[in-house]
Amino acid sequence: MLDSILSLVHETVHTDNIDDALNKIVNWLKSNIDVDACSIYLKHRNSQQLILMATAGLNPEAIGHVKYNPGEGLVGMVAERCGKVVLYEASSHPEYIHFPITGEESFDSFLGLPLMHYRQMLGVIAVHNRAHREFTDKDIAILITVTTQLSSAIYASLRSSSKEVSIQKDDLSTSVYTAVSGARGLVSGVMVQPDINADLNSVEEKVTSDTDTQEVIFMLAVTEVQKEIRISSENMREYIPAEVQALFEVYSLLLADDSLLSGVLERIQSGLFASTALRYTIDDLVAHFNTLRNQYISARAEDIRAIGSMILNRLNSGSGSPIDYPDNCILIGDEINLTQIANVPRNSLKGIICRKGSTMSHAAIVAHSLGIPAVMGVQDLPLENMNGRTAIVDGYIGRILVDPSDEVHKEFQRLIKEEELLFTELENLRDLPAETLDGKSIKLNTNIGVLSEIESTRDVGADGVGLYRTEFSFMLSESFPSEIKQYEKYRKVLKAYAPQPVVMRLLDIGGDKSLPYFLIEEENSFLGWRGIRILLDHPEILITQLRAMLRANINLGNLKLLLPMVSHINEINSFRKYFDLVINELIEEGHDIVVPKLGIMIEVPAAAIQLKAMAKLVDFMSIGTNDLTQYLLAVDRNNAHVASLYDFLHPAVLKLIQKVVQDAREVDMQISVCGEMAGDPRTVIPLLGMGLDSFSMAGASIPGVKWIIRNFTYERTVEILEEILEMNEVEEIKDYLNQILEEKGLGGLIRAGN
C-alpha cells in the first residue's frame, strides 16, 4: 500500500495539469477505500469558499459549481475543525446541504479530512457511501496518509498552474499574495513580464548532425549577450552606485566561465542542438549551486539561470521584439535579471516581483539602490496570467495585490499619499535630537553594508554607524580581498563618519551568508561553522582584516571592533592574542596605532546568560536581535515551514533582552541593540522601557524611530513594558502596541507596512 501511495504522490508532483493530478487522487481513493464517491474541494483564495474541483462518483458537471461558504455544510465542518469528521446517516445531519447537480439524492456514510500545507488549509478531501458503511481504522489511516503526503504536492501543482486563477475568473475581488520583502516601498502599476519565450524549462531535446553550425549559432548568441550586458551596464551607471554596478561584471564573468562554455560546446559536439545543450548545462550548474543550500549561493544560481535565459532568448529570436513599457511598469518573472531591469526606462520602472529569489538576489539589491519596492519568492503567483494586469506592490511586508478593486486601489492610493506626507514630515526631524518628552537622550546609529549607503544614512541624521557588515564587500569580490583593498573601503567609511563612531563587525560568514570562493557545506549551517569560529580557525583571514581596519583608523580614531557569534569566553581570549599581535606588529612597522574599543555581539543565548563574565573582557556589547530570536525560539526564519513562528515580540525574547540589559547595567557595560527589532516602530517602545539608549538600524528606519522617541516619555515606555511582560501571546502584544501608536497619531508608521 505504501508503494502505491508513494507512486500516487510521484505522479501528482510530476504532472503539468492540476486537473489530471486531482482526478488521479480521487479515483485512487475511491478504489482503494472502496466507496461510492470521493471528492476534492479547494479553498478559494479570496472568498474562502470551498469549491468542488474533482470527483469520482458524483456528476462531473458539478465541478466548479458546488461551493460551500466557510463553516457551511459537512465539507465546511471539516474545514472549520481542521480535523477529521466521520458521520453516519450523514444526509440527516443538520449541516447537510443537498446540491441536485451532483446527481446524488442522499448518502449515509461520510468521512472528510482537511488538506493542510504549512498550517494553511488548502481544501478538503471527502469520501462517502450511499449505503451504511463503517469506516475502519485502516480506511481512516489510508486517507490520513494520502492527505498528509499529497497536500504539498497539490500545493505545488496549484502554484505551477493557472487553476487557481481559472476558478476565480468570475470573481472581481482582489487576489493577495504574500512572500518576502526584497526592497521597501509601496507602489501601484501594471505588471510586465519580459522575455516570456526565454524559458529554459520549456526547451525540448533536439539532436543534430550539423554540430559545427550549432557551435557557431551558440557563440554568436554569447557574443550578443556580452554586448547586451555592456550596454545595460552603461544604461544603469547613472542610477546605481559603483559596487552595485559591479554586479554586471558578475554576469560577464559567468558568461565567460569555462564550465558554462565548455559544457555547452561538449554537449553540442555530442549531437545536441545548441538550445538543448544550453538547458542541460545550466541545469547541471544550478543543481550544483542548490546542493550547497545557502541563500547567497542560491542567489548566484539565479545569475546562472539569468545568463542561460539571455542566451536562449538570442538563440530563439535574436534581439526579440521591443517591449512598450507603461509609465508605471512593475517587472514580473520567475527571476528578473539585471539587463531586464536596465531595459526599462528609469522613470517608468516602479517595482519588481519575482516568483523565486530572496533578499540576496541581484534584483532585490538593484531595487534597493533604485529606491523602488521589490517582493521576492512569490511562489504561488501564476505568471502566465499576470502580464498586463494591475498590481499593488507592498515592499514593506512582501505583499502583492493583483487586480485591486476600485475601493482597494483607492485605499492604497490614499496610503501611498499618506506615506509621502509622512516621509516629508519625518525629513523635518533630521536635525532634531532623538530625545523623549522627559529628556532622555537616545543614540540612533545606522547599519550599512556597502559604501553606497553612506550618503543616504548621513542624510537621515544618523549619529554614527552601529554596525558595518564587512562581509558584504567580501561577497561582492571574486576572491578574498587583499589588505589594501580592505583598507581602502574601511578608510572611506571611517573618514565619512569621523568623528562619529563606526562599529565594524569582523567578517561574519556562515549560516545564510557564504562566499563563492569559500564554500561551507554543512547539515545545519546556523549551528555550525560561522562567525568568530571561522576567524579563529583561519587566522590568516582574521589578521589581514585586523591590519586593514587598524591602519584605516590611523589619525581618525573612530573605529570600534565587534566580534560576531561569540558563545564561549575562550573565543574572546583567543581573539585578543591575535589582536595584540597585530597591534604590536603595526607599531613595530612605524604606524601610529590607536587601539579601538572591543565589543561582542550578544546573539547566542549562551552569551546572554554569561554576559557578566564576558563583560570583564570587552568594552561594549551589541544585542543582535535577529539571530538571538532565531536561536531562542529554535526557528529558522528562512524555512517556510516555521518562519511564521519567528517574532521579536515573543514574550520569551522580550524577557531575555530585558535580562541582558539589566545584567549589563549592573556591571556598568555599554550596550546597544541592532537588527530589525531596533528599527521596528512597535518594538522600539518596549526596548526604550528596558533602558536601552543606543539603537542601530537600517538608515530608512531612523526617522520613524526618532518620531516615536520624541512622542513618548521614558516613564510611559517603562509602564508599557511592564504591561507587555504580563502578556503571554505575540498577537496580544502586537495589538496592544498598535493601539498605543494609533492613539498617539503614529499609526502611519505601521499601516505603511501592515
CATH number at residue 332: 3.50.30.10
More confidently predicted of 748 and 742: 742
**Between the ranges 314-318, 345-349, 448-452, 687-691, where is the mean pLDDT highest?**
687-691
Q: Is residue 749 a part of any domain in this protein?
A: no
Q: Is residue 171 a part of any domain in this protein?
A: no
What is the DSSP-derived secondary structure letter of residue 89? S
Instruction: Please tell me the least confidently modeled range out of 252-261, 331-340, 687-696.
Output: 252-261
More confidently predicted of 575 and 256: 575
Q: Do 330 and 296 fall within a single domain? A: no
Instruction: Please tell me the least confidently modeled range out of 47-51, 330-334, 425-429, 556-560.
Output: 425-429
Q: Do 219 and 283 fall within a single domain? A: yes
For 120, the enclosing helix (H) or strand (E) is strand 120-129
Task: Write the CATH number for 94.
Answer: 3.30.450.40
Q: Do 534 and 642 fall within a single domain? A: yes
Angle at 413 between CA 408 and CA 419, to 5 degrees: 125
Residues in the chain: 754
pLDDT the model gives residue 584: 96
**Among candidate residues 316, 339, 363, the one where a domain is terminated:** 316
> Residue 329, class by beta-carbon neighbours within 10 Å (0-12 exposed, 13-18 middle, 19+ buried)?
buried
Q: Do 109 and 232 fall within a single domain? A: no
Q: Would you place residue 672 in the very low, low, confident or very high pLDDT band (cuts 50, 70, 90)? A: very high
What would the mean pLDDT of 384-412 be, rounded to a whole number?
Answer: 85
Angle at 732 between CA 78 and CA 655, to 5 degrees: 125
Question: What is this structure's pTM?
Answer: 0.68
Beta strands in 241-368 (DSSP E): 329-333, 349-354
CA distance linking residue 123 with residue 151, whole number of Å: 9
Under 8 Å between Cβ of 430 and 459: yes
Instruction: Please tell me the least confidently modeled range out of 89-103, 231-245, 352-366, 592-606.
Output: 231-245
pLDDT the model gives residue 7: 73
CA distance linking residue 390 with residue 403, whole number of Å: 5
Q: Is the dihedral of CA 709, 713, 718, 721 positive or negative?
A: negative
- In degrees and rounded to multiples of 5, residue 516 shows phi and psi of -65, -20
Q: Would you place residue 163 in the very low, low, confident or very high pLDDT band (cuts 50, 70, 90)? A: very low
CA trace torsion 692, 697, 703, 709 (10° rounding): -10
Instruction: Please tell me the least confidently modeled range out of 153-167, 334-348, 496-510.
Output: 153-167
Angle at 492 between CA 491 and CA 496, to 5 degrees: 115
What's the number of CA atoms in the CB half-sphere (13 Å) around residue 194?
28
Q: Is residue 515 a part of any domain in this protein?
A: yes
Q: How many domains does the chain have?
A: 4
Residues 6+ apart with CB under 8 A from 7: none
Under 8 Å between Cβ of 260 and 281: yes
Q: Does the active-site annotation cover 362?
A: yes
Whole domain around residue 374: which residue ranges? 176-183+323-404
Q: Is residue 737 a part of any domain in this protein?
A: no
Q: Does the active-site annotation cover 674?
A: yes
- In degrees and rounded to multiples of 5, residue 441 shows phi and psi of -90, 135
Q: Is residue 168 a part of any domain in this protein?
A: no
Q: Do 530 and 590 fall within a single domain? A: yes
Task: Write the CATH number for 470.
Answer: 3.20.20.60
Under 8 Å between Cβ of 175 and 392: no
What would the mean pLDDT of 242-266 be, rounded to a whole number?
Answer: 80
Question: Residue 611: which of 652, 666, 654, 559 has the closest Cα?
Answer: 666
Q: Is residue 555 a part of any domain in this protein?
A: yes
Beta-sheet pairing, 374-376 with 180-183 = antiparallel
Q: Which one is catalytic: 362, 538, 568, 650?
A: 362
Q: Do 124 and 269 fall within a single domain? A: no
Q: Do 567 and 716 fall within a single domain? A: yes
Q: Is residue 748 a part of any domain in this protein?
A: no
Task: Write the CATH number for 217.
Answer: 1.10.274.10
Under 8 Å between Cβ of 127 and 33: yes
Q: Which one is catalytic: 38, 329, 354, 674?
A: 674
Q: Do 456 and 473 fall within a single domain? A: yes
CA distance linking residue 176 with residue 405, whole number of Å: 12
Q: Do 204 and 277 fall within a single domain? A: yes
Q: Whose grid coordinates read 453516519?
A: 88
Q: Do 362 and 220 fall within a single domain? A: no
Alpha-helical runs (H) found in 538-621: 539-552, 569-588, 605-609, 611-614
Give percent above pLDDT 70 in the chain: 87
pLDDT the model gives residue 752: 46
Q: Could you tell me which residues are beta bridge partners of residue 443?
A: 694
Q: Do 476 and 333 fall within a single domain? A: no
* Whether residue 499 has a cis bond before it, omega within 30° of 0: yes
Q: Is residue 8 a part of any domain in this protein?
A: yes
- pLDDT tops 90 at residue 725: yes
pLDDT the model gives residue 509: 84
Q: Do 680 and 607 fall within a single domain? A: yes
- pLDDT tops 90 at residue 238: no
